[in-house]
Amino acid sequence: MTTPEPADATEATGTSAETGTTEPAGAAAETETTEPAGAAAEAETTEPAGTTAEPMTTAAAAGVTKTTGTTDTRTTETTGPTTEPAGTAEHAGTPAEPAGTAGPAGTAAETGTTTVETGTTTVETGTTTVETGTTAAETGTTAVETRSTEPAGTAARAGEGSEAVVEVVERRLHPVTPLRRAWAPVAVLFGWAVHDPDGAQRHLSRLTTTTLLIGLAVIVPAAALYGFCSWWFTHFAVTESELRIRTGLVFRRTAHIRLERIQAIDVTQPLLARVAGVAKLKLDVIGTDKKDELAFLGADEARALRAELLARAAGFAPGTAHEVGEAPSRQLLRVPPGVLAVSLVLSGATWGSLAAALVVPPLLWLATQSVWTLLAVALPLLGAAGASSVGRFVAEYDWTVAESPDGLRIDHGLLDRAHETVPPGRVQSVRIVEPLLWRRRGWVRVELDVSGSANSLLIPVAPRELAEAVVARVLPGVTVPQHAALSPSPRRARWCVPLWWRGYGLAVTDTVFVARSGLLCRTLSLVPHAKVQSVRMTQGPWERARGVADVSVDTGADQTVRARLRDAAEARDLLAAQAERSRTGRRDARPDRWMA
Q: How far is the CB of 193 from another protein (least distance, A)?
A: 44
Identified binder of another protein from the candidate list 286, 311, 357, 478, rule CB under 8 A: 286
Binding to another protein, residues 396-455 (CB under 8 A): 428, 451
Structural contact between residues 68 and 14, judged by C-beta atoms closer than 8 angstroms: no
Q: Does 588 bind another protein (CB under 8 A)?
A: no
How many residues contact another protein, by CB under 8 A? 35
Identified binder of another protein from the candidate list 533, 546, 547, 570, rule CB under 8 A: 533
Residue 502 burial (10 A CB sphere; 0-12, 13-18, 19+): middle
Identified binder of another protein from the candidate list 108, 421, 582, 594, rule CB under 8 A: 582
Count other Cβ atoms within 10 Å, centred on residue 574.
22
Q: What ranges in 32-106 are assigned the alpha helix state H?
A: 37-45, 47-53, 62-65, 71-79
Q: How far is the CB of 110 from another protein (least distance, A)?
A: 14
Q: How far is CA 266 from CA 5, 91, 156, 413, 453, in A?
A: 28, 27, 34, 13, 10
Three-state secondary structure of 210-246? HHHHHHHHHHHHHHHHHHHHHHHCCEEEECCCEEEEE
Residues 243-272 vs another protein: string with x where CB under 8 A?
------------------------------
Q: How far is the CB of 90 from another protein (least distance, A)?
A: 6
Residues 479-518 vs another protein: string with x where CB under 8 A?
----------------------------------------
Collapsed DSSP state (helix, strand, coil) of residue 121: strand
- Eight-class DSSP state of 251: S
Report the C-alpha gap between 43 and 16 in whole angstroms.
8
Q: Does 587 bind another protein (CB under 8 A)?
A: yes
Report the C-alpha gap between 425 and 257 in whole angstroms.
19
Q: Does 575 bind another protein (CB under 8 A)?
A: yes
Report the C-alpha gap between 101 and 82 in whole angstroms.
6
Identified binder of another protein from the candidate list 172, 334, 483, 586, rule CB under 8 A: 586
Which range in 186-194, 368-376, 472-480, 529-537 contacts another protein by CB under 8 A?
Answer: 529-537
Decide whether 202 or 583 has the Cβ nearer to another protein: 583
Which range in 149-157, 167-175, 332-340, 574-582 contacts another protein by CB under 8 A?
Answer: 574-582
Decide whether 56 or 515 has the Cβ nearer to another protein: 515
The sign of the dihedral angle between the CA atoms of 382, 383, 388, 389 is positive
Structural contact between residues 99 and 315, judged by C-beta atoms closer than 8 angstroms: yes
Decide whether 308 or 550 has the Cβ nearer to another protein: 550
Binding to another protein, residues 547-566 (CB under 8 A): 552, 554-560
Candidates 236, 34, 1, 2; CA nearest to 12 is 34
Q: How far is the CB of 549 from another protein (least distance, A)?
A: 8
Which range in 251-259, 397-405, 431-439, 534-542 contacts another protein by CB under 8 A?
Answer: 534-542
Residues 58-97 vs another protein: string with x where CB under 8 A?
-------------------------------xx-x-----
Q: How far is the CB of 568 from another protein (least distance, A)?
A: 10
Collapsed DSSP state (helix, strand, coil) of residue 329: coil
Identified binder of another protein from the candidate list 115, 370, 482, 538, rule CB under 8 A: 538
The secondary structure of 22-40 as a DSSP string is --SSTHHHHHGGG--HHHH
Helix (H) or strand (E) holding 255: strand 253-258
Binding site for another protein (CB under 8 A): 89-90, 92, 286, 428, 451, 531, 533-541, 544, 552, 554-560, 575-576, 578-580, 582-584, 586-587
